[in-house]
Structure 1
Amino acid sequence: MVYISINHKVKEFVIYIGIFWFYKNELIARKIAVNELKPDEIGMVDSPFEHITEWEVRSIYLPDFKELVSTEYQQLPRGRVIYSNQTKKATVYMDGSLFTEKYKAQLINYFKLTTCPVIWRKDSHYKVFKY
């Protein structure tokens, strides 16, 4: 969390973490505020959300994308946002196809990452699985 004093008022900026997918350039995501969770033993804060559960059990893509009912969670580009309390940086792990300024801007906006440095990383866990 970052605190900024403006005209003697303290304004709190909350950073969010969570998971996401992109479909037809639209963000499908679930987030939680960093300050609602406890960091692990090395100061990392990760959301409790799992891609498989949010996709296959909770159908996170509904009602907007009914055509995705027969898809599996690993068929679309996806990723995860985590946060380090020690470095005060967010790390976004995602499929390599998402490394464009357009996608990054959507993620920064949705997860409110404007008040901390962001590290962008590819991760084989989030590579799109093609059938």
Structure 2
Amino acid sequence: MNNKVGIFWFAANTLVFKTQNACDLQPDRLGFVDSTLQHQIEWEENLIFEHFALALHHTDYYHFPRGRIVFNTKLQTSFIYLDKKLFKKRIVDAIQVNFSLVHTKVKFFTDPHYNCFNSF
């Protein structure tokens, strides 16, 4: 299994993301492997957007549509939680490629936690 878990945003027409290998993390008692990454810390403290050549200083982590990927070991399926605005083929394809999910079963979920209220 080389599936990845982690977090992402879609900002300035760019998929900004940080991954961890699912096999390096322990599943919880329900069989879910989740990343230890946090959107707020990666955006506001680690300035993840700089790794993607984006000058987005003075923006909050919740300013852009975002999401998280977890892996269910029991179902051998990646669960992609994302803002509903990101349900576009090119964005979904980019997420699957960058998280090594092209040949993996995936399920998509919207979650109010990832809602972005800015225009997209």
TM bracket, shorter-chain basis? over 0.9
Question: How many Å apart are 1:129 and its aligned residue?
Answer: 3.7
Question: How many Å apart are 1:62 and its aligned residue?
Answer: 1.1
Name the TM-score, length of structure 1 as normaliser: 0.86
RMSD of aligned C-alpha atoms? 1.0
1:80-113 Cα shifts (integer Å, max 9, x gaps):
0000000000010001100011111000100000
Q: How far apart, CA to CA, are the structure 1 residues paired with 2:71 and 2:111?
A: 16
Question: How many Å apart are 1:53 and its aligned residue?
Answer: 0.5
Select the structure with the greater relative contact order (CA < 8 A; seq sep ≥ 6).
Answer: 2
**Counterpart in the other structure of 1:4:** none
**Counterpart in the other structure of 1:125:** 113
Question: How many Å apart are 1:25 and its aligned residue?
Answer: 2.1
Q: How far apart, CA to CA, are the structure 2 residues paired with 1:115 and 1:65?
A: 30
The answer to whether structure 1 residue 74 and structure 2 residue 62 are counterparts is: yes
Aligned length: 117
**Counterpart in the other structure of 2:93:** 105
Structure 2 residue aligned with 1:65, among 36, 43, 54?
A: 54
Q: How far apart, CA to CA, are the structure 2 residues paired with 1:129 and 1:48?
A: 25
Q: How far apart, CA to CA, are the structure 2 residues paired with 1:116 and 1:44?
A: 15
The answer to whether structure 1 residue 51 and structure 2 residue 39 are counterparts is: yes
Q: How far apart, CA to CA, are the structure 1 residues paired with 2:45 and 2:28?
A: 27
1:104-123 Cα shifts (integer Å, max 9, x gaps):
10001000002221101111
Letter in 1 for 2:84: G
- Relative to its length, the structure with more strand (as a share) is 1
**Counterpart in the other structure of 1:11:** none
Runs of 4+ in 1 over 4 A off after TM superposition: none
Name the TM-score, length of structure 2 as normaliser: 0.94
Q: How far apart, CA to CA, are the structure 2 residues paired with 1:112 and 1:25?
A: 20
- 1:10-89 matches, within 5 Å, as 14-62=2-50, 64-66=53-55, 68-89=56-77
Unmatched tracts of structure 1, length 5 or more: 2-13
SS in structure 2 of the partner of residue 20 of structure 1: strand
Q: How far apart, CA to CA, are the structure 2 residues paired with 1:108 and 1:44?
A: 18
